[in-house]
Structure 1
Amino acid sequence: MHLSIVIPAYNETRRLASAMQKLAAVLETFSFSHEVLLVVEKSGDDSLALAQKIAAAHPNWRAIDNLVHRGKGYAVRSGMLRATGDFICFMDADLSSDPAAVNDALKVIETTSATVVAGNRRHPESVVTHNQGKSRPLLSKVFNLTARMLFPGGIKVRDTQCGFKMFRADAAREIFTRARIDGFAFDIEIFLLAHRLGYEVRTIPVHWTDSPYSTVRAFRHGLQMYRDLLRLRFRM
């Protein structure tokens, strides 16, 4: 078994090194082969140089220069379509979701009919630590509720925006070759495409810690996400 991990990065110099050190330590405990793809969007800091330095220190890691800044969805899609694993997951560069969730997700895919597994911060067994006040979690819940109302048949998960998701490789390629949303609302499109293509989605609990250095800006990115929701509503 070969696992690919895709990590989108944008302006991540403050936290990338420590997060990737933690990820490398977790990966050493796995018995299967793996690769890590650090997909760096054009940043205003030294994220690319740092990612290249980190990748050079690990034999199965790659730093990918996306050249432009189009959004998290674009970065994730770029990495997912370059991945070579039998199973492909993506997670946030700050490791807000504990990477140990990889084992839980793999177990679900290997023992059930699910081909997509998503982290769910609202799962009763999840452990969530908020470091960004109450506004971000509230806005996330409102956005998720809006998406479920707009797409009642296609969005069945309660937490669409958790940054940890895993796919069987064939499902990942079929879904991401069809994806078009470049921004933070890309997760909604992924769930809609999975539903349309007949892939079963299941969720797992996660250990989640908000980063105090998030690059998400609630108002600006929130408006973009709702705009993309409307685009999806008319397209799908």
Structure 2
Amino acid sequence: MDGTTLIYGAVTLVLAVILSCYTVLVLLSPALVVPHEQDKKYRSRNTPNPTPLPSIHADPEVDLTVVVPAFNETQRMPTMLKSTLAYLASAASPAKTHEVLIVDDGSRDDTSDLAMTFAKENPGHEIRVVTLHRNLGKGGAVRHGMMHGRGKRLLMVDADGASRFEDVNLLWDAMDKFAEDASIAIGSRAHLVKTEAVVKRSVVRNVLMYGLHTILRVVGVGHIRDTQCGFKLFSRRAAQLIFPYQHLCTWIFDVEVLLLAKQLRVPVAEVPIEWHEVSGSKLNVLTDSLQMLRDLLILRANLVFGRWVAPPATTKQQIQ
């Protein structure tokens, strides 16, 4: 067997391996979520019957949309909503007009009914409730809310109330410093790593946290110290550019969002906020960590092959 034959055989083998890997990647990669007809509608105090949701590409109607992803949250969400609504009604709130968009992610309990009760009991606030026809995952619920918010700025906040809502002012001020229309300000718990808030967590959780940080540096978001904090503020322009192209609906969706922002050169401010752990987390440390690792590998591979990218847009018309 001569050298030419060996080279030909090696090249053929490499191409076969690449093709096989690409085929597996295509099969494992989730497609962009196509909303069910039920998902395109909301209810509120003034509109008890399902009403069509607006689009992120429409002109804004309020200063701030608060997107709350919720899955079986009848126990934890009331405390969070009370503090959120109280602060939004106060003079300290940076948003003069606002809406709260609660996205029930296919809950098996009375999360939607609870949200509607809050809407009826708080007529001074615009509370809209979307009930997804099936459980998509936290990332899917956040994406859906962002795709249908009416705010000039859109805040993602977890239903457990672990983040102090008053810190929205810190994110707001950080975003004000950007000259660009598209910008993001994210809450960060990185400053708490050596404090009791994190140290007292289980050894397994802390080991996984440090392991995740190592993997994230490989993936490409090592410049962000805390990608997973559930307290992120987006300008409307940033939401228009990013969320239509978000594929991942699982826990690690934040990483994809931040990578899309990096691709599009959307500036991100990481802001230290107050945070405390709240019991009742839906996160299964073992199975969800394995899922995160799988999704990170899928995410990285799709970026390498150029399959998951957000097209650049220089004018508003290009993204509508």
Which residue of 224, 234, 239 maps to 1:172?
239
Checking the alignment, whether the CA contact within 8 Å between 1:128 and 1:209 is kept in structure 2 is no
**What is the alpha-carbon distance in structure 1 between the residues aligned to residue 135 and residue 73 of structure 2?**
13
Report deviation, 1:192.
Answer: 0.4
Distance 2:294 2:74 in 1: 29
The one-character-per-residue Cα deviations of 1:88-146 (angstroms, maximum 9, x if unpaired) are 11010011111111111111111234711111101379977257534324322321221
1:110 lines up with 2:176 in the alignment? yes
| Distance (Å, rounded) in 2 between the aligned partners of 1:126 and 1:132 | 11
TM-score (norm 1): 0.92
Which letter maps to 1:106? W
Q: Does 1:207 align with 2:274?
A: yes
Among 142, 159, 173, the alignment partner of 2:211 is 142
Equivalence for 1:63: 129
- Runs (4+) off by over 4 Å: 124-128
Query: Number of residues paired by the alignment?
Result: 234
- Higher mean alpha-carbon deviation, 121-130 vs 189-198, is at 121-130
Structure-to-structure mapping, 1:24-39, within 5 angstroms = 24-29=85-90, 30=93, 32-39=96-103
Query: Do the aligned residues in 2 keep the contact of 1:126 with 1:207 (CA within 8 Å)?
Result: no
Pairing 1:85–2:116 present: no
Query: Greater CA deviation, 167-176 or 22-31?
Result: 22-31
Greater percentage in helix: 2
Where does structure 2 lack aligned partners over 5 or more consecutive residues?
Answer: 1-61, 304-320
Matched ranges for 1:114-193 at <5 A = 115-123=183-191, 129-130=197-198, 132-151=201-220, 154-193=221-260
Shift in Å at residue 26 of structure 1? Answer: 1.3
Deviation at 1:216, TM superposition (A): 1.0
Answer with 1 or 2: which has the greater Rg. Answer: 2
Determine if the alignment matches structure 1 residue 12 to structure 2 residue 73: yes
- Distance in 2 between residues matched to 1:182 and 1:146, nearest whole Å: 19
Give the direction of change, closer, same or farther, for the CA distance of 1:137–1:20 in structure 2 (3 Å limit).
farther
Is the aligned partner of 1:48 residue 2:112? yes
Given candidates 284, 299, 318, the residue that maps to 1:217 is 284
Structure 1 spans left out of the alignment, 5+ residues: none
Give secondary structure in 1 for the equivalent of 2:118. helix
Q: Distance in 1 between matches of 2:157 and 2:259?
A: 19
Q: Deviations over 1:24-62 (max 9, x none)?
A: 111112251111111001122211211221223333111
Write 1 or 2 for the structure with the bigger share of strand: 1
Deviations 1:178-212 (A, max 9, x none): 10101001000011000001101111111101111
Distance 1:107 1:84 in 2: 20
- Contact 1:108/1:117 (<8 A) preserved: yes
TM-score of the aligned structures, taking structure 2 as reference length: 0.69
Q: Is the 8 A contact 2:79 2:161 kept in 1?
A: no
If asked which structure has higher relative contact order (CA below 8 Å, sep 6+), I would say 1
Equivalent of 2:296, from 226, 229, 233? 229
Over 3 Å counting, the alpha-carbon distance change for 1:224 and 1:201 in structure 2 is: same
Whether the 8 Å CA contact 1:127–1:206 is kept in 2: the answer is no
